Structure 1
Amino acid sequence: MLGLLSALLIALMLLSASSGALHIPLTELPGLLFSASGPDETLWRSVLIDVRLPRVLFAALAGAALALSGAAMQALFRNPLAEPGLIGISAGGALGAVGAIVLGGGSFLVLAPSAFVGSLVATVAAYHLGRRYPGMAGLLLAGVAINAICGALVGLFTYLADDNQLRSLTFWNMGSLAGASWPLLAGLAPWTLVVGALIARDWRAMNALLLGEREALHLGFPLKAVRRRLILLTALLVGPLVAATGAIGFVGLVVPHLVRLALGADHRWLLPTSVVAGAIALTLADWLARIAVIPAELPIGIVTSLVGGPFFLWLLAQRRH
Structure 2
Amino acid sequence: MSNSLVQPVAAPLRRGAMLIRGLRRLGLGFALVVVAILLATATGESSIALDTVLKTLANQLLGTTYELDAIDRGIIWEYRLSRAIVAASCGAALAVCGLILQSLLRNVLVDPYILGISAGASAGAVAVAIAGMGAGVLSMSAGAFLGAVLSFALVVGLARMTGQIILAGIAGAQLFHALSSLMITKSANAEAARGIMFWMLGNLSGVRWDDVALAVPVAVGGVLVAGLYTRALDAFTFGSQSAAALGIAVTRVKVLLIALTALMTAVMVSMVGSIGFVGLVIPHAARYLVGVRHAVLLPASAVMGAVFLVLSDILSRVVVPGQVLPIGVVTALIGAPAFALILIRGARTP
Q: TM-score range by the shorter chain?
A: 0.7 to 0.9
Equivalent residue number for residue 327 of structure 2: 300
| Superposed CA offset, 1:266-286 (max 9, x none) | 100000000000001100000
Moved more, 95-104 or 25-34: 95-104
Shift of 1:174: 1.1
Shift of 1:133: 9.3
The structure having more radius of gyration, on CA atoms, is 2
Equivalent residue number for residue 11 of structure 1: 35
Equivalent residue number for residue 200 of structure 1: 227
2:69 match: secondary structure: helix
How many angstroms apart in 1 are the aligned matches of 2:176 and 2:336?
23
Q: Which amino acid aligns with 1:202?
A: Y
- Consecutive unaligned residues of structure 2, counting only runs of 5 or more, are 1-24
Q: Choose the corresponding residue for 1:284, options 311, 315, 320.
A: 311
Seq. identity, %: 35
Equivalent residue number for residue 252 of structure 1: 279
How many angstroms apart in 1 are the aligned matches of 2:91 and 2:152?
25
CA 170–65 in structure 1, closer or farther in 2 if over 3 Å, else same: same
Say which structure, 1 or 2, has more relative contact order (CA 8 Å, 6+ apart).
Answer: 1
Q: Choose the corresponding residue for 2:71, options 40, 43, 67.
A: 43
1:84 match: secondary structure: coil
Moved more, 27-36 or 267-276: 27-36
**TM-score, normalising length: structure 1:** 0.86
Equivalent residue number for residue 120 of structure 1: 146
How many angstroms apart in 1 are the aligned matches of 2:158 and 2:325?
43
Equivalent pairs counted in the alignment come to: 316
2:123 match: secondary structure: helix
- Consecutive unaligned residues of structure 1, counting only runs of 5 or more, are none
Contact kept? 1:89, 1:120, Cα under 8 Å? no
Shift of 1:80: 0.9
How many angstroms apart in 2 are the aligned matches of 1:10 and 1:25?
16
| Superposed CA offset, 1:8-49 (max 9, x none) | 3333222211111222111332222215655x6332222111
Contact kept? 1:86, 1:144, Cα under 8 Å? yes
Q: Does 1:71 align with 2:95?
A: no
> Where in structure 2 are the equivalents of 1:19-58 lying within 5 Å?
19-33=43-57, 34=59, 38=67, 41-58=69-86
Equivalent residue number for residue 239 of structure 2: 212
Shift of 1:184: 1.6
> Where in structure 2 are the equivalents of 1:84-95 lying within 5 Å?
84-95=112-123
CA 133–222 in structure 1, closer or farther in 2 if over 3 Å, else same: farther
Shift of 1:88: 3.7
Equivalent residue number for residue 96 of structure 1: 124
How many angstroms apart in 1 are the aligned matches of 2:75 and 2:153?
44
Contact kept? 2:121, 2:265, Cα under 8 Å? no
Contact kept? 1:91, 1:151, Cα under 8 Å? yes
How many angstroms apart in 2 are the aligned matches of 1:225 and 1:124?
19
**TM-score, normalising length: structure 2:** 0.79
Q: Choose the corresponding residue for 1:83, options 111, 114, 120.
A: 111
CA 37–260 in structure 1, closer or farther in 2 if over 3 Å, else same: closer
Contact kept? 1:173, 1:246, Cα under 8 Å? yes
Shift of 1:318: 5.0
